[in-house]
Amino acid sequence: MEVPILKQGQFLIATIQAALSDADLLQLRSALAQQVVRFRSRGVIVDVTPLDVMDSFASRTLREIAHIIRLRGAETVIVGIQPEVAFAMVQLGLTLEGVATALDLDEGLAYLNEKLKSTS
């Protein structure tokens, strides 16, 4: 299932709609890597609210997305990690270290706006 990516001003917003297979996650990674270039985006938000499991592969792929986007000079923020999912991630030892996270889409946008202000 493909993840829709919405362009909103200088940002891209990827809103995950349902559980993702590994192939879907890899597809999201390459789509974001391409679109951030095409639209000269400054920030990316990945909304993972509907994800009910974040295992090692999903976590690693999100980290890779954030690192790829950073190499393009843009920022990534992951929003909407559910409390149970966060609990399971910690038990599993997945910390998403080095990746910005925020509570929801609003907080994510606020984070990116703040980041842009401080760098421009």
Partner 1 sequence: MSEEIQVPIRSDQDIVAARKKGRELALSVGFSASAATLVATAISELARNIVLYARSGEIQVRSIELPQRKGIVVVARDDGPGIANVRQAIQDGFSTSGGLGLGLPGVRRLMDDFEIVSSPGYGTKVTARKWLL
Binding site for partner 1 (CB under 8 A): 19-23, 52-57, 59-60, 83-85, 87-89, 91-94
| Residue 47 to residue 69: CA distance in whole angstroms | 16
CB nearer to partner 1: give 21 or 30. Answer: 21
| Closest CB 86 distance from partner 1, rounded Å | 10
Question: Can you name the residues that pair with 6 across neighbouring β-strands?
Answer: 13
CB nearer to partner 1: give 5 or 54. Answer: 54
| Residue 96 to residue 116: CA distance in whole angstroms | 22
CB nearer to partner 1: give 7 or 60. Answer: 60
CB nearer to partner 1: give 46 or 51. Answer: 51
| Closest CB 16 distance from partner 1, rounded Å | 13
Q: Output DSSP code: residue 74.
A: -
| Closest CB 103 distance from partner 1, rounded Å | 18
Q: Are 43 and 66 in contact (CB under 8 A)?
A: no
Catalogue the E-assigned strands of the chain.
Answer: 5-8, 11-15, 43-47, 75-79, 100-102
